[in-house]
Amino acid sequence: MANRRHLISIDDLTDTDLREIVRRGTEFAAGAAEDARSLADLVVGVLFRKTSTRTRTAFSAGSLRLGARLITYGPGDLQENTGETAEDTAAVLSRMIDVLVARTAGPEEELRAYAKQHRMAVVNAMSAAEHPTQALADLTTLARHFGQVEGLRVLYLGEGNNTAAALALALARYTDTQLHLRTPPGYGVHPSVLERAQAAAKRSGAVVEQRHDPTDLPSVDVVYTTRWQTTGTTKPTPDWRREFTPYQVDEALMAACPGAVFMHDLPAHRGEEVTAAVLDGPTSITFAQAENKYHSARAVLEWCTGNTPNWRIAGG
């Protein structure tokens, strides 16, 4: 049996792992590995308790393209709903399938419980704290568009949610990158995540900084935002939209960042976090970013199963 690896957090990846997943994602995107059948005869389970378009489709299509067989579970399908523990569920599933891609939108601890066994790889397809596979798709997008990730400057506006957390942890690994977070007061990236990202940035020579002033805009290569209402969450303050309105990405903001491209993890609510003119405009690479989730998902699946042909990582 190949070595199974779990991806619950960006922190589960070494610097080499991270770069190789991104590199492999760009290979898939370039069509250089379309004949890969690295998951032939494996079985991938896909468990989504919350809605998903891109992540679910990316991992489902990616599994099938790589030759795997697919089992899908809805939010009411498993016996956890009747009281079975996550550990017991994983102990059973791991004897039948090779990978579990799970979106719980809840605490990371449940995914860690699934990952206590070593027969079945576990992929975090979004928890409350972090969305690591989104960050890997984002890095793949940056690498494809700019030719490299090193040295890029990114401005993130909006809630410090699980996408922002994963982006901070991932981008901080690259030399001379800058991530400027502009989040509403009380809605920033969690201090523990920010501390981890800044520690990684210190090692790599990157910058990760968070402020709460949307008019304080640095010179950047990328402007990034996400939906204000994150899947599976609610806002603690009733007038939160008023607090978020100054963080909308519109034509004026993009004009204040000349030369920058626009990214969004989708789904987007036109007229809220971003105007239609920006989302559909010439600076937007959002839908290429969405496509790259599919390419990146195939790279993640290869890494998690240990089926990594021509990869440059130990044990691959």
Per the structure, the count of domains in the chain is 2
Answer whether residue 1 is part of any domain.
no
Q: Does one domain contain both 207 and 223?
A: yes
- The answer to whether the CB of 169 falls within 8 A of the CB of 196 is yes
Domain that holds residue 255: 133-290
274 part of a folded domain: yes
Q: Is residue 210 part of a domain?
A: yes
Same domain for 139 and 86: no
4 within a domain of the structure (yes/no): no
Tokens 């491209």 sit on residue: 261
Q: How many CA atoms lie within 13 A of 303 on its CB side?
A: 28
**Residue 159 banded pLDDT, cuts 50, 70, 90:** very high
Same domain (yes/no): 247, 285: yes
DSSP 23-40: HHHHHHHTTTTTT--TTT
> 209-257, pLDDT tens digit by residue?
999 999 989 999 999 999 998 766 678 888 899 999 999 999 999 999 9
pLDDT of residue 316: 45
Could you read off the pLDDT of 247-299 as tens digits, one per residue? 999 999 999 999 999 999 999 999 999 999 999 999 999 999 999 999 999 99
- Print burial letters for 80-101: b (CB count within 10 Å at least 16), e (below 16): beeeeebeebbeebbeebbbbb
Q: Are 122 and 156 found together in one domain? A: no
Residues 175 and 278 in one domain: yes
Residues 75 and 173 in one domain: no
Please indicate, yes or no, whether residues 170 and 274 belong to a single structural domain of this protein. Answer: yes
In a domain, 313, yes or no: no
Give the helix/strand (H/E) hosting 166. helix 162-171
Looking at the structure, tell me whether residues 260 and 243 fall in a common domain. Answer: yes
Q: Is residue 314 part of a domain?
A: no
Looking at the structure, tell me whether residues 112 and 142 fall in a common domain: no
Looking at the structure, tell me whether residues 164 and 260 fall in a common domain.
yes
281 domain-assigned = yes
Q: Which CATH number goes with the domain that contains 125?
A: 3.40.50.1370
Q: Do residues 43 and 86 share a domain?
A: yes
Query: 192: which residues sit within 8 A by CB, 6+ positions away?
Result: none
Is 109 a domain residue?
A: yes
Q: Report whether pLDDT(166) > 90.
A: yes
Q: Indicate if 126 and 165 belong to the same structural domain.
A: no
pLDDT tens across 35-80, in order? 999 999 999 999 999 999 999 999 999 999 999 999 999 999 999 8
